[in-house]
Amino acid sequence: MTEQRRVLLLTHPGRAPARDVACQLVDALSGHGLQVRMLPDEAIALDLADNVHVELAGNGDPSADCELVVVIGGDGTILRAAELAHDSGTPLLGVNLGHVGFLAEAEYDDVSATIDAIVERRYTAEDRLTIDVSVFREGELVWRTFALNEASVEKAARERMLEVVVEVDGRPLSRWGCDGVVCATPTGSTAYNFSAGGPVVWPGVEALLMVPISAHALFARPLVVAPTSVLAVEVIAPADASGVLWCDGRRSVELPPGARIEVRRGERPVRLVRLHEAPFTDRLVAKFGLSVEGWRGASERRLRGEGRA
């Protein structure tokens, strides 16, 4: 007996095209014998709860026994999907309805080609490095989570700076009065890390990043460290200047003075589906609308006989 193929469909119901794309995916995939599963609240919001081709997720991991999680939305929706599918390791395929959509692989106006790729299994999955984040108070572990993009330590009050000491591999590095500190992955280097002035790191590079936000210090530069390193941020003063830790902009915990945050390479990667073999450079150019006018490239120079000794 042939094993039932199943995909989990996650959407951003608040976006206008989401229902049209979701309906198109449900009809096409079910027509090819795939079972489509949805979260009950999303199915209700999109008027798909009574669709005979939609299976409503029950208790437990909604991505369990699914070959893919198809995500309709922007990067925020994909980060939510990464949270849901983290334990199962189910690959994520993003259909972009957002603006930049760095994590998405497909655009909503090319859904037909995406459907064909899913049906014919013409896709690959690449592992993206994550970070595991732990929060300690008075030496006791009080909170733990993971992040695909970043963990950001931020000041809780707009009018007060946060005073922190940062540490790498068990040794203190510098003390900063700042608005915050971003600890990011290469995948997250084009997100908050980018806005904070950190470097863009190609996804194939295994590294951890630390970037201060508006730091008042002599040494306050972005850092790129080994994937085996452990980064730490300690909130030290003043007594009324507490902070908050955000992971992927989705999960947060308060940080009173004395709190310690440790960031290390995650035990589980997140798997992102790729439909094309386009270089990351091309993705940067397309997503950021970068100008490359005047570029001729090495192949054209060789044709013209340039660059020869």
Q: Quick one: tokens of 157?
A: 């009050």
Computed over its alpha carbons, how large is the radius of gyration of the chain? 22
- Candidates 47, 50, 61, 75; catalytic one: 75
How far apart, in Å, are the Cα atoms of 70 and each of 9, 37, 96, 127?
5, 10, 11, 16
50 catalytic, yes or no? no
Pairing of strands 208-213, 180-184: antiparallel
Distance CA(225)–CA(309), nearest Å, equals 39
Give counts: helices (H), strands (E), the chain. 7, 20
Distance CA(93)–CA(99), nearest Å, equals 17
Distance CA(239)–CA(37), nearest Å, equals 49
Task: Compute how many other C-beta atoms are within 10 angstroms of the C-beta atom of residue 80.
Answer: 16
Strand order in the sheet with 180-184: 223-225, 208-213, 180-184, 150-155, 243-247, 251-255
For the annotated catalytic residues, the residue numbers are 75
